[in-house]
């Protein structure tokens, strides 16, 4: 597409956008009586308008049915998660039996590593990307310590080359090949939170398996953002939060994926709880854990009804959009337009005031553009917020802007670039 740096062009793209009405499904925060241009969906998605209604519905169930709500009403809580599984599966390219809504992200990461990180004499290391989100770093560090290893010996971090911000796929694959006989687990983020780089998950999975390792992903910044195909790529396991690109609310329920080829593996360890017990026999209260079939067998505690209701409502917006395909098409156009406009801003300023560190190829990024200002980065971010553009700041020097296709417009992107130009001239 040949872009133009005009408001009329941006508004024309919005008029032609088949998803433009999805914006009306969401509530925008306001400042000084004006709505924000909200570009922080990579941290917390906007509230769907229906959120209050679905919570009220479940509160009414609680009020009117009390404990019988587990088995009665429109959505008996005992089986409510099954409705979500049907909608979650297309988001991550899975079969419904392979996914389950439960717990929160890092809890699920730990539970899955209990099953899939099985260090042995020589093969005991975990490979991950350097600069992964801190919760992943802490979880992995604590897991290797739990097994009696020193993180300095047991964790392999793959770093960008000197002077670069993103990882080259060939470097990741080379490290897997070189150290393959020592790697028990390859555990990457699907998308790096800092740069917005979308890793080649299929190639990483294939290389990890060829090396004899298990491969898992933290999809916190990928699920609901980019089209992943966990089942077809043969990924062993994954987990994600639902409150970023999937708009389920702060601290929203997490989701897990376990490939169906692991369902019958009796050698897998797991931390068991009542809710993961075989559903048809659960209320017999018998000793001896017998897992429910599929990903549901990794459940520990009972269903979180209110967070699940919010997630269900948000997933129905994805269904209305046609799931990831149409959203991804718009997302690539939004980020490409932002790339173009930032380049135009730099040309206007006659200097590289804003350096984009997100990959320029649309196939290597999601709905995020990370920029570094030549100077006064924190001031620039604060000026954006003061003028009703809300992205987020990541130490030491990055402004993350995330145009989300379900509720952001091309005009939003144009107005943001216009403001970056105004601030840069000060």
Q: What are the 10-residue block averages of pLDDT along the chain, 426 residues in total?
A: 96 98 98 97 98 97 97 95 97 98 98 97 97 97 98 98 97 96 98 98 98 98 98 98 98 98 94 95 94 96 96 97 97 98 95 95 98 94 98 95 98 98 90
Q: What is the Cα–Cα distance from 253 to 266, expressed in whole angstroms?
A: 28
Cα–Cα distance measured from residue 341 to residue 196, given in angstroms and rounded to the nearest whole number: 18
Q: What is the pLDDT of residue 58?
A: 97
- The predicted pLDDT at position 358 comes to 98
For CA atoms 140, 143, 145, 149, give the dihedral sign. Answer: negative
Domains and CATH numbers, the chain: 7-35+323-424 (3.90.1150.10), 55-321 (3.40.640.10)
């Amino acid at each position: 597409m040949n872009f133009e740096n005009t408001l009329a062009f941006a508004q024309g793209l919005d008029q032609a956008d088949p998803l433009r009405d999805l914006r009306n499904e969401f509530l925008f925060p306001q400042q000084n009586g004006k709505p924000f241009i909200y570009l922080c969906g990579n941290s917390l998605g906007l509230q769907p308008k229906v959120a209050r209604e679905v919570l009220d519905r479940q509160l009414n169930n609680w009020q009117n049915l009390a404990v019988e709500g587990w088995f009665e009403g429109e959505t008996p809580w005992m089986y409510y998660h099954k409705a979500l599984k049907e909608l979650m599966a297309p988001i991550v390219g899975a079969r419904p039996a392979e996914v389950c809504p439960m717990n929160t992200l890092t809890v699920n990461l730990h539970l899955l590593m209990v099953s899939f990180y099985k260090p042995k004499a020589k093969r005991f290391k975990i490979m991950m990307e350097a600069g992964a989100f801190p919760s992943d770093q802490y979880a992995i560090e604590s897991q290797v310590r739990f097994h009696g290893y020193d993180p300095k010996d047991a964790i392999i971090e793959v770093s960008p080359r000197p002077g670069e911000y993103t990882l080259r796929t060939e470097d990741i694959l080379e490290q897997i090949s070189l150290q393959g006989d020592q790697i028990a687990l390859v555990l990457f983020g699907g998308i790096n939170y800092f740069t917005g780089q979308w890793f080649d998950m299929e190639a990483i999975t294939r290389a990890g398996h060829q090396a004899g390792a298990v491969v898992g992903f933290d999809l916190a910044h990928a699920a609901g953002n980019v089209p992943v195909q966990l089942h077809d790529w043969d990924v062993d396991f994954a987990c994600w939060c639902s409150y970023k690109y999937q708009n389920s609310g702060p601290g929203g329920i997490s989701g897990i994926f376990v490939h169906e080829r692991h369902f019958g593996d009796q050698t897998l360890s797991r931390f068991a709880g009542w809710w993961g017990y075989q559903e048809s026999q659960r209320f017999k209260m018998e000793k001896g854990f017998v897992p429910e079939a599929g990903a549901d067998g990794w459940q520990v505690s009972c269903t979180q009804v209110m967070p699940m209701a919010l997630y269900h409502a948000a997933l129905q917006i994805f269904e209305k959009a046609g799931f990831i395909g149409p959203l991804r098409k718009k997302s690539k156009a939004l980020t490409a337009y932002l790339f173009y406009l930032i380049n135009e801003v730099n040309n206007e300023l006659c200097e590289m005031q804003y350096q984009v560190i997100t990959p320029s190829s649309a196939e290597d990024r999601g709905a995020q553009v990370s920029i570094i200002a030549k100077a006064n980065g924190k001031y620039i971010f604060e000026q954006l917020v003061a003028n009703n553009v809300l992205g987020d700041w990541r130490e030491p020097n990055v402004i993350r802007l995330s145009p989300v296709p379900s509720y952001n417009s091309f005009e939003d992107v144009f107005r943001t670039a216009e403001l970056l130009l105004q601030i840069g001239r000060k």
